[in-house]
Structure 1
Amino acid sequence: MFAITTDNNSDLPMTYLKEHDVGLMSLSYTVDGQTYDAHHPMPDADFYARMRAGAMPTTAQVNPEEARRVLEQALETHDCVLHIAFSSGLSGSYQSARIAAMELQEQHPDKQIVVVDSLAASLGQGLLVHIAVQMRDAGQSFQQTVDWCIENRLHVVHLFTVDDLFHLYRGGRVSKATAIVGSMLNMKPVLHVDDEGKLVAVGKMRGRKRALDDLVKRMGEQIGDYENKTFFISHGDCLADAEYVRDQVKEKFGIPDCLINFVGPSIGAHSGPGTVALFFLGKQR
């Protein structure tokens, strides 16, 4: 059996990672001068409370030393390692993992390390990890799992909305004028992640509920012939809204299982409190 590793921008619960033996590289984040990471975290609810109080967190990518540590640990007990990285379109973490993998591959020519650019974020990346775990546990080979991830990563659909455009403006995702006008008119953007793994606005709705309903509407347009057995939702400390979307999806599409978790701080620093994101397999983005 091969090892699977990822980074904390996959937003999978720590209990899931431990249960399924998934190694974790950590991106760090700094709030009010104090630095945290996945191994020494600030509770998610506290993080969003600090943001609502005016804190403006900053984030850092996975560094090569952290990547090397996690991959070396996986190589101690496995001959093959699959690392599923946060989108290269949003961070340099993929490149850090590649550098570490190439160095270790030279030192261990009898072993195999593959770093897959998920071109995904949050539980979109997490969904790719989840499917890789299922394939591994079902007895699929290392190469079959790698091939599936590469061939299907652009079928992991991301749909999300944010409550406050300021955070997207601060991260350079929307213009200042868009943020100001959108806030005045109570416009809520609907965004997705494109083929290059970057955030792209695909619509805007007046009011929060309409934006949440639009996520579900767009899911109906994009799900195609895929038979999803589960879908994932991440949220920026707005569980009731996440559960509203979950219930709408279950009612309309009959998908039985849903995993809901926080948008972690490394992404939440840029999307802000009130983010709701929906992930599933569907037509190519």
Structure 2
Amino acid sequence: MPSCCIIADNAAQFTRVNFPENICLRFINFKTEYSFINPKETNHNSGLDFPKHLALDKDPIIRVPDYDEIREVIETSVNQFDDVFIILHSKEINPAYATIIALLNKIKGRAAVHLIDSQSLSIGQGFLIQSAMDLISNNTAGNLIEETLREHLPHIYTLLCTPGLSYLHNAGYIDKGQSVVGEMLSLLPIFSLEDGTFTPIDKLKNIHGVIDYFIEYIDEFDDLFQVSFLQTTTPAIQEAKLIKQYLDENHPATIYTEHPHNNYLSSLIGPKGFGLVVIENN
């Protein structure tokens, strides 16, 4: 049986926490200026709470991993394993993607390297990582694993909603004017990850309207596998229970999960942002 390693980044989130011990899972860690984690528990975060707004002239709050840190993860992996699967969050919003491509062109090892742009992040990216683990556990050949993961890509859909447009401005996805006007009007813009890129699709006036939009969006699918709601920081959005109620009544076989978003996602959409990930069968 070939030895396998998965390299991901910490934009990923997972619907399960127990992974096979015989599969190596390594992370390229983006650092964030703010954190939900006590600073005593990590060397990478300051532990400062996420503010409601960011100053328009503030430096980016997401820190790209050091070049040598990325190189060490890749170099040791390709020399120790037969197959290395690198499953990253969307290259369109991933400031380290170009560095990783450049390193892969330089570093040679025994491994067959399978680079996957998830065109997603959070639960969508995590779903691909979990799928890779399942396939590895079933002794699936490396090329077939890559092919299967790529077949999943067009069946993963992500919607993100945020009142904190200053965070999107800080990350470079909207300009200063859009950030100021959007927050002044107190609208809730909804973005879709279209081919991995933040794409505005609607603006609504309140959370209940956004939840209704999410339910109508889910209703467009005929063959659902999983629906995941990405919760805000406390207090949680209670209206999310309407999504579960809709699924229980109309798609009882569909997996439903809720997750507080991690530091990376909060650094993109703010602590009061929330979202929906829909995965259909393929």
Equivalent residue, structure 2, for 1:94: 97
Equivalent residue, structure 1, for 2:261: 263
For residue 192 of structure 1, report the CA deviation from its aligned partner.
Answer: 0.7
Change (3 A) 1:14 1:217: closer
Change (3 A) 1:140 1:18: closer
Equivalent residue, structure 2, for 1:214: 213
Q: Deviations over 1:83-111 (max 9, x none)?
A: 1012110123222222333333x2x2x42
Change (3 A) 1:53 1:180: closer
For residue 115 of structure 1, report the CA deviation from its aligned partner.
Answer: 1.4
Change (3 A) 1:16 1:42: farther
Per mean C-alpha deviation after superposition, the further-off stretch among 3-12 and 23-32 is: 23-32
Change (3 A) 1:25 1:246: farther
Which amino acid letter does the alignment assign opposite residue 258 of structure 2? Answer: I
Contact between 1:191 and 1:199, CA under 8 Å: does it hold in 2? yes
Contact between 1:215 and 1:278, CA under 8 Å: does it hold in 2? yes
Contact between 2:50 and 2:270, CA under 8 Å: does it hold in 1? no
Distance 1:246 1:69 in 2: 43
> Scaled by the length of structure 2, what TM-score is found?
0.80
Aligned match for 1:233, one of 216, 229, 233: 229
Which amino acid letter does the alignment assign opposite residue 97 of structure 1? Answer: I
Which amino acid letter does the alignment assign opposite residue 174 of structure 1? Answer: I
Equivalent residue, structure 1, for 2:146: 146
SS of corresponding position for 1:9: coil
Distance 2:260 2:44 in 1: 13
Distance 2:70 2:129 in 1: 17
Change (3 A) 1:93 1:253: farther
Equivalent residue, structure 1, for 2:166: 166
Change (3 A) 1:132 1:215: same
1:61 counterpart = 2:64: yes
1:40 counterpart = 2:43: yes
Change (3 A) 1:63 1:148: farther
Change (3 A) 1:248 1:21: farther
Distance 2:271 2:10 in 1: 18
Which amino acid letter does the alignment assign opposite residue 264 of structure 2? Answer: S
Contact between 2:232 and 2:272, CA under 8 Å: does it hold in 1? yes
Equivalent residue, structure 1, for 2:244: 247
Contact between 1:169 and 1:176, CA under 8 Å: does it hold in 2? yes
Equivalent residue, structure 2, for 1:115: 115
For residue 253 of structure 1, report the CA deviation from its aligned partner.
Answer: 2.5
Distance 1:68 1:39 in 2: 22
Which amino acid letter does the alignment assign opposite residue 2 of structure 1? Answer: C
For residue 207 of structure 1, report the CA deviation from its aligned partner.
Answer: 0.6
Aligned match for 1:81, one of 61, 73, 84: 84
Contact between 2:6 and 2:26, CA under 8 Å: does it hold in 1? yes
For residue 180 of structure 1, report the CA deviation from its aligned partner.
Answer: 4.0
Contact between 1:86 and 1:93, CA under 8 Å: does it hold in 2? no
> Scaled by the length of structure 1, what TM-score is found?
0.79
For residue 269 of structure 1, report the CA deviation from its aligned partner.
Answer: 1.6
Aligned match for 2:10, one of 8, 11, 17: 8
Distance 2:156 2:121 in 1: 10
Per mean C-alpha deviation after superposition, the further-off stretch among 114-123 and 94-103 is: 94-103
Q: Deviations over 1:18-38 (max 9, x none)?
A: 866421111122349xxx8x9
Which amino acid letter does the alignment assign opposite residue 241 of structure 2? Answer: Y
Q: Deviations over 1:129-149 (max 9, x none)?
A: 122222222332211111122
Aligned residue pairs: how many?
270
